[in-house]
Amino acid sequence: MKKRLPPLNWLRTFEAAARHLNLTQASVELNLTQAATSQHIKGLESQLYTVLFRRLPRGLELTDEGKAYLPVVHECIRRLTTATEEIFGQSKNRLLTVKVNLVFFTTWIAPRLAGFYQQYPDVGMRFTSNIWLDQEIHTHDSDMGIRYGKGYWPGFDADRLSWDELFPVCSPRLASTLGSINQADLGACEQLSKQTLLHVIGYEEGLGHWLDQAGLSDIRFSHEIQFDTLISALEVAKHGGGLALGRTSLVEDMLEKGLLVAPFAQKVPTAEAFYLLRPSNKYVHPHAEIFRSWLIKEAKQKH
């Protein structure tokens, strides 16, 4: 038979007494008489059929059962306090903070943000950007985060936002000099090898991966420029500076506007994607679900 949950005021009294290990100090914190504090502790121990404290001449000492119970009670009270403040207190007006990779924000979120605010004008948001794809998401400085990877981060729930294919992109002017590329077209392959590779560090699946899958693994580019973010490489590519490896979700707007073109037919699926992360089993923010639902809806429209 399951035991009834103890009253919340008993649990608050236990948590305060366990922190202070002193009934008098716990009573002052809770604004209770010492007799009431003692009755709460006795009531809790009676309901649980367990002694939680040993009474000492100069205070209290937790039993093994009390030590095991304390962190659970403490976390429950902390979460309840936080959620109450977030939903009903002044914190409900706090900005929803999202840490997002710079290239994803610039190419994917930014073009859609006006549409979000047309639907949800009262949602206050704060975006912080990071360059590195694998930069950690810390819950102390953001409510949610967007990261690139394979979908598993311990301690976080992840919603997939992209289903990408990989393919080279360049300016229309540069594309006109390349022609059709395939393994048997040695002249075109030679022309390709003369181009500048715009290489972005941090991706497991780079242009070398695309060349392998396209049967062009022997090609060696004559020049290479390295970048720490794809947005920089795409800007150079738009101005005819070389070939960058595009990902569908990040270059689709540039392709539609004619700023970039995909000169080759070969496209390679990627095992990685952008994901929205939020802490597991933790209340985040009253507007978090609004933003999450909107993001997922936008992502599925393009999938």
Q: Coil, helix or strand for 201?
A: coil
Higher pLDDT, 205 or 15: 15
Which part of the chain has CATH 1.10.10.10? 8-90
pLDDT at 212 (0 to 100): 84
Q: Are 145 and 158 in contact (CB under 8 A)?
A: no
Rounded Cα distance, 62 and 48, in Å: 15
In degrees and rounded to multiples of 5, residue 293 shows phi and psi of -60, -40
Q: Is residue 210 very low, low, confident or very high in pLDDT (cuts 50, 70, 90)?
A: confident
* Predicted pLDDT at 126: 93
Query: How confident is the model at residue 88, as a pLDDT?
Result: 72
Residue type, 70: L
CATH 3.40.190.10 domain range(s) in the chain: 94-160+273-302, 165-269
Name the packing angle between helices 110-119 and 288-302 (round to 10°): 120
Lowest mean pLDDT among 22-26, 144-148, 286-290: 286-290
**CATH fold of the domain at 8-90:** Arc Repressor Mutant, subunit A (1.10.10)
Distance CA 195, CA 211 (A): 14
- The residues that bridge with 104 in the sheet, in sequence order, are none
| Structure confidence by residue, pLDDT tens digits, 94-116 | 788 999 989 999 999 999 999 99
Angle at CA 267, nearest 5°, toward 270 and 164? 35
For domain 165-269, give the fold.
Answer: D-Maltodextrin-Binding Protein; domain 2 (3.40.190)
187: pLDDT strictly greater than 50? no
Tokens found for residue 241: 């500076």
Provide the whole-model pTM: 0.68
Task: Give pLDDT tens digits for 1-45.
Answer: 556 889 999 999 999 999 999 999 999 999 999 999 999 999 999
Average pLDDT over the chain reads: 86
Packing angle, helices 23-30 and 34-48, rounded to 10: 100
The percentage of the chain sitting over the pLDDT mark of 70, rounded to a whole number, equals 88
H, E, C per residue of 58-76:
CEEEECHHHHHHHHHHHHH
> For residue 184, is pLDDT > 50?
no
User: Does the domain spanning 94-160+273-302 belong to CATH 3.40.190.10?
Assistant: yes
